Amino acid sequence: MYTRVVTLQIQPGKAEEAVRIFRDSVVPAAKQQPGFKSALLMTDSNGGKGIAITFWETEADREANEGSGYFQQQVAKVGQVVAAPPTRENYEVRFQG
């Protein structure tokens, strides 16, 4: 399994809106993508930092998803609640307990 980890700097007071956008728009769109498995969104205790992790069946699924424009569309959805452009990193899941 493969992941995309996106780190977000959330504007003050916008954490709940970020969660709503992720839950109601980003994840439903992700479910339409080939190879999508699941997603997590975590925020720190004050809601200023968020980490979104999406899980993909294969590396090719994740890479095709990035090349399709999907990722850029999802970033645009959260543009109104983030203080800086999100950063992303890709990983391979090597162990899950």
Q: Answer yes or no: is 77 within a domain.
A: yes
Q: Is the pLDDT reported for residue 30 higher than 90?
A: yes
**In degrees rounded to 5, what are phi and psi of residue 40?**
-130, 145
Confidence label for 27 from pLDDT (cuts 50, 70 and 90) = very high
Confidence label for 89 from pLDDT (cuts 50, 70 and 90) = very high
Q: Which among 23, 92, 77, 11 is positioned nearest to 50, based on CA atoms?
A: 11
How many domains does the structure of the chain reveal?
Answer: 1
Residue range(s) defining the domain that contains residue 74: 2-92
* Calpha distance 60→15 (Å, rounded): 32
Q: Answer yes or no: is 67 within a domain.
A: yes
Q: Answer yes or no: is 19 within a domain.
A: yes
The CATH number assigned to the domain holding 30 equals 3.30.70.100
The predicted pLDDT at position 7 comes to: 96
Confidence label for 71 from pLDDT (cuts 50, 70 and 90) = confident
Q: Answer yes or no: is 97 within a domain.
A: no
